[in-house]
Chain A
Amino acid sequence: QPVLTQPPSSSASPGESARLTCTLPSDINVGSYNIYWYQQKPGSPPRYLLYYYSDSDKGQGSGVPSRFSGSKDASANTGILLISGLQSEDEADYYCMIWPSNVVFGGGTKLTVL
């Protein structure tokens, strides 16, 4: 099972942007997979935010604001979730996911909005 590496924590101030990363192992090319992002708040199930494959192949979850966006950094073999215009309600755990042959989740990043 591949391991997706996410920083355990990240923080930013309201109005700023948060860049959350999801690094794939070297034997899995980020360019070949959809990168999915989920948000989870305490006591609630995860909520689908978006998936990103390329600028021409991406999708946003129902009701998810456009200030949530995805991208990839091929040089770092990393998927990226960018949250712009941070709000206090964005404080949550964020999980990335890929689906090569089986679903794999990253360990999650706890985002604190200071």
Chain B
Amino acid sequence: QVQLQESGPGLVKPSQTLSLTCTVSGGSISSGSYFWSWIRQPAGKGLEWIGRIYTSGSTNYNPSLKSRVTISVDTSKNQFSLKLNSVTAADTAFYYCARVGYKGVFDYWGQGTLVTVSS
């Protein structure tokens, strides 16, 4: 059973960089034809897709965040990561990592981690 777990600071200061890591267990991040994705959700609000990465390093980003986002993968650690720079209070949200499976389905999700942007 594939499991994903987000980790990283829960508090980030405005204008700084938000950095999160998703550790994949129960299978190799490199096996199969999967993308790995980040999605966020402000408390009490809807879901927003941030971007995705293939294990080759190929990425796609939400156009609204593209200028500030970098997603990378470390296959040796079975992890992929998110960096979001120049954060503001509007970036305060639960951040989820997820696997993109067959037919573009987000089939496995992490439990999510709350990141608060505040001085």
Chain A residues with CB under 8 Å of chain B are: 1, 34, 36, 38, 44-48, 51, 59, 61-62, 95, 97, 99, 102-108
Contacts and interface: CB of A to CB of B under 8 A. Distances in A.
Contacts of B64: 1
A103 B51 CA distance: 8
Contacts of B98: 45
A45 B96 contact: yes
Contacts of B46: 95, 105-108
A80 to B, nearest CB: 18
B49 interface: yes
A39 B37 CA distance: 18
13 contacts: A36-B105, A44-B111, A45-B98, A45-B112, A46-B47, A46-B109, A47-B109, A59-B102, A61-B105, A61-B107, A102-B60, A102-B61, A106-B46
B63 interface: yes
**Size class of the B contact interface (CB-based, 8 Å):** 20 to 34
A86 B96 CA distance: 28
Given A1-B63, A36-B104, A59-B103, A45 B49 contact: no
Contacts, number: 57
Contacts of B74: none
Interface of B: 37, 39, 46-49, 52, 60-64, 96, 98, 102-107, 109-112
A51 B96 contact: no
A34 B63 contact: no
Contact of B62 (A45, A48, A61, A102): A102
Contacts of A104: 49
Contacts of A99: 104
A5 to B, nearest CB: 12
B106 A38 contact: yes
Nearest to A50: B105
Given A102-B63, A106-B46, A45 B104 contact: no
A34 B104 contact: yes
A47 B62 CA distance: 21
B49 A103 contact: yes
